[in-house]
Structure 1
Amino acid sequence: MPMKLNKFSVGKRYAKALFEYSEEQARLDTTYQELMVIKQVLQASPDFLTVMSLASVSNAEQTQLLTTLAQPFSQITQDFLHLVFDYGRMNDLDLIIAEFERLYDATHGRVLIHAVSATALSQEQRQQIGQAYLQRFNGKSAQVTNTVDPDLIGGVIVEAEGRRIDGSIRTKLQQMRALLAQPLR
């Protein structure tokens, strides 16, 4: 009995296949741009993927919705969307797009960095974090997003490429507290 693939494995396989095919056809940038538009549509209409998998919505209605979504895009993207639909993988579309984006960014040396700070970071601070990361690790360019968490007290937590660098005051205080709690020898 064949093993069922999890959503992440499906996302990786479909994204890799689309990525490689788009690259072969010299349409990688176009496919990327179109998938980013679809990503925005999915974020703006989170119920779309649910509707595309409801048994109460007929296959003809789902096909019409998909055709409407795919219509402005290139033939590669249209064919890809129909393939995902035909194989019943519409609920995995967001994961497929995320993996395609990761592959695209890796190919172009772009590092996506998420910085969590106690207060909002200025554009200059985000650029400094990006440059510091690129100098310490690798990449050609960095895109830094910022989330505010007042519980950090100060400092910043940087997450990128599976790395987590925690320079927050909260963590430093927790470490000091743990050291002070240890018995003297």
Structure 2
Amino acid sequence: MTDQIVSKRYALALFNAAESAGEGLTEQVQKELSFISDLWEKNAELRAFFEAPQIPGEDKEKMLQLTFRGKISELLLQFLLFLLSKGRLVHILEINTRYDQLLKEKEGLVEAQVITASPLDEGLSVSLKEKMEKKTGKKVSLTYKVEPEIIGGIRVIVGNQIIDHSIRTELDKLRESLLSLKV
């Protein structure tokens, strides 16, 4: 089973458990999981400790309990202990990403990345956001990236869909069609 599938399943299980446990717990777990993921990502010693095969599982379990008991929800602590027992704690970053996506889906929020050759002015940004919200029927969160190499136009990435209306892409298409002509 690929890491992405594993992470998605664990994130979904945690999300469903948090939803079942009570109001507001899904958001609380997301904040706590994000905090733990940041720790995991930034602290090489922490990762090395939990990934070391020579350290007994009981010691790792004690470390988790000492470190997080009373600081995070019991649900998340039990989830981390479960991941540890299954040897899946190494997937915590991807689980966090997947959990965050599930929470945004629940809230009806769509994330999109907008790529332009130069920064968009405020009016265009607002207009683009409104049009995307109208088209998707959901709240849209836009992040902006400037890539001068697209020359002009716009490229929008929503999930795994790319809407490309950049001049660079149009020039590439024109070049390909001209090269494919038989003279």
For residue 14 of structure 2, what is the aligned residue in structure 1?
18
For the 8 Å contact 1:118–1:150, the answer to whether it is kept is yes
For residue 87 of structure 1, what is the aligned residue in structure 2?
86
Q: Give the letter for the 2:142 counterpart.
A: V
Give 1:176's match in structure 2, choosing from 169, 174, 177: 174
State the distance in 1 between where 2:43 and 2:155 align.
31
Percent of aligned pairs with the same residue?
A: 22
TM-score, normalization by structure 1: 0.81
State the distance in 1 between where 2:143 and 2:110 align.
11
Q: Give the letter for the 2:114 counterpart.
A: A
Give 2:142's match in structure 1, choosing from 141, 144, 154: 144
For residue 97 of structure 2, what is the aligned residue in structure 1?
98
State the distance in 2 between where 1:129 and 1:88 align.
44
For residue 44 of structure 1, what is the aligned residue in structure 2?
42
Q: Give the letter for the 1:100 counterpart.
A: Y
CA shift for structure 1 position 166: 0.8
For residue 26 of structure 2, what is the aligned residue in structure 1?
28
Q: Give the letter for the 2:73 counterpart.
A: S
State the distance in 1 between where 2:78 and 2:26 align.
15
State the distance in 2 between where 1:127 and 1:43 align.
34
State the distance in 2 between where 1:169 and 1:107 align.
36
CA shift for structure 1 position 56: 4.9
| SS of the residue 2:6 aligns to | helix
Structure 2: which 5+ runs fail to align? none
Q: Number of paired residues?
A: 180
For the 8 Å contact 2:154–2:164, the answer to whether it is kept is yes
Structure 1: which 5+ runs fail to align? none
For the 8 Å contact 1:126–1:145, the answer to whether it is kept is no
Once structures 1 and 2 are overlaid, which stretch shifts more, 150-159 or 39-48?
39-48
Q: Give the letter for the 1:44 counterpart.
A: K
For the 8 Å contact 2:41–2:93, the answer to whether it is kept is no
State the distance in 2 between where 1:69 and 1:144 align.
36
For the 8 Å contact 1:22–1:28, the answer to whether it is kept is yes
Superposition RMSD in Å: 2.6
In the TM superposition, what whole-angstrom CA distance separates every residue of 1:67-111 from its partner, at most 9, and x where no partner exists?
355341111111111111111101111121111111111111011
